[in-house]
Amino acid sequence: MEQNGTKENGRSEETPAPGPPQPVHVQDIRFTKIFIDNKWVQSSRGRTFATFNPATGCKLCEVEEADETVETLDTGKPFLQSLFIDLDGSIKTLRYYAGWSDKIHGKSLRVGDITKHEPVGVCGAIIPWNFPLLMFMWKIAPALSCGNTVVVKPAEQTPLTALHMGSLIKEAGFPAGVVNIVPGFGPTAGAAIANHMDIDKVAFTGSTETGQLIQTAAAKSNLKRVTLELGGKNPCIVFADCDLQLAVEDTQTGAFYNQGQCCTAASRVFVEESIHDQFVRLSIENAKKIVVGDPLDPLTSHGPQIDQQQFDKIMDLIESGKKEGARLEYGGTPVSNKSLFIQPTIFSGVKDHMRIAKEEIFGPVQCIFSFQSQEEAIRRANSSRYGLVSAIFTSSMDRALSVSAALETGTVWINCYNSLHAQTPFGGYKMSGIGRELGEYALAEYTEVKAVTLKLKEAV
């Protein structure tokens, strides 16, 4: 699943203000209840919560809130990204793991000794708001291919995609209880999954801080298995011998894709000193072509942030960058006073001690650093508590391979960015997580290995 295809979206020479809000057809939103045992049920406490369109601020509907038990509208991401990245990637993930369902087998170790791979049991999946459809598939596809059942808690900001998937799961003829969907909030529904004594494994994608809480709850309950895909402060190292235009476009796509609301965001771009100024100039020129506007408009390539809380956090970090001495080269302001749109923002002259260099911004902010030597670039790239992804841009494959071996990240992209495939494992080092999603490696997260030894009679 290539995620660096956003360049094919329409562009304009300057960043325009978003167009007038389009009407939301709320009558098309039919699935708002909790999905358990292939039935739509109401909250046991009779509570609901509202979900909003971040592009317009309009309320979409009320969703039933689970307790201790439509992608573009819900997330605000541009329509073409939802169609060609999220939907296409989801289909590919399902097809990949459907192929594994009859190929999960053990080994014959010697005469009388075999291993079996058995389902873990009931798997809890807690998914984030930035990729609600794709993360739904990343969780349920390997779990189901291994024979497990799943309880999914979508993010409270974006529950509609998962609930619509519930209707399709029922229509497809899944047995009752195989997939259950419980919209709600982290401290209630999410905590219930992490603490539940009858849930055998939990898979979570989200912040490092919440991941720590989930791991603690899992340990204190039934010591359930945990996989965590957490935050990132991802370094890109751009060497002077690279294809400069490619490096500019790919690192910027990495920084601004989904309005920067990605754990894989290219948030630290280290550029060799001899090409630093040219790289900054080209990055500014490229940013001016990004189309900010209505996510339902096919020409739009940049939408709103997910909610006011996220918007305020990003603006606070932008202000900190200014105060701490980074050079604001482009953007840095809201697009209007009555929306959640933030201009694509570029800082140069960023130093390693600054907040924008250390904290996960989760917004459309590109931070550009300069370096003099390969050893310096590697040392600074690794000087983070995170270790999710990284990228290298160079024409030397010897350099690319040696630097990739030195980088402390779970994924290294060479002369590309956000190139994710269902066959390739994904996960992080250090505080970016535990375990792997996607590929054959993910199957090990959803199976128990049983050794069976049979004593054979000696031949007469």
CATH of the domain at 326: 3.40.309.10
What DSSP state is assigned to residue 17? P
Q: Specify if 145 maps to a domain.
A: yes
Task: Tell whether 279 and 390 lie within a shared domain.
Answer: yes
What CATH number is given to the structural domain containing 89? Answer: 3.40.605.10
Residue reference for tokens 């932008």? 318
Q: Specify if 26 maps to a domain.
A: no
The whole domain housing 84 covers 34-231
Quote the pLDDT of residue 17.
46
Task: Tell whether 381 and 260 lie within a shared domain.
Answer: yes
Whether the CB-CB separation of 63 and 32 falls below 8 Å is answered with yes
Give the H/E segment covering residue 65. none
Quote the pLDDT of residue 13.
40
Entry pTM = 0.84
- Residue 44 confidence (pLDDT) above 80: no
Q: Quick one: residue 283, left, alpha or beta (phi over 0 = left, psi -120 to 50 = alpha)?
A: alpha
* Segment 388-433, tens digit of pLDDT: 999 999 999 999 999 999 999 999 999 999 999 999 999 999 999 9
- Whether 448 is a known active-site residue: answer no
Task: Tell whether 248 and 164 lie within a shared domain.
Answer: no
Task: Tell whether 190 and 271 lie within a shared domain.
Answer: no
What proportion of the chain, given as a percentage, has pLDDT over 90?
65
Task: Tell whether 246 and 108 lie within a shared domain.
Answer: no
Question: 330-356 burial, b if ≥16 CB within 10 A, otherwise e?
Answer: bbbebbeeebbbbbbbbbbbbeeebeb
| Dihedral sign from CA coordinates of 350, 352, 353, 355 | positive
Q: Specify if 131 maps to a domain.
A: yes
Q: Specify if 307 maps to a domain.
A: yes
Question: Into how many domains does the chain fold?
Answer: 2
* Segment 232-245, tens digit of pLDDT: 999 999 999 999 99
Catalytic choice (64, 65, 229, 272): 229
Task: Tell whether 269 and 357 lie within a shared domain.
Answer: yes
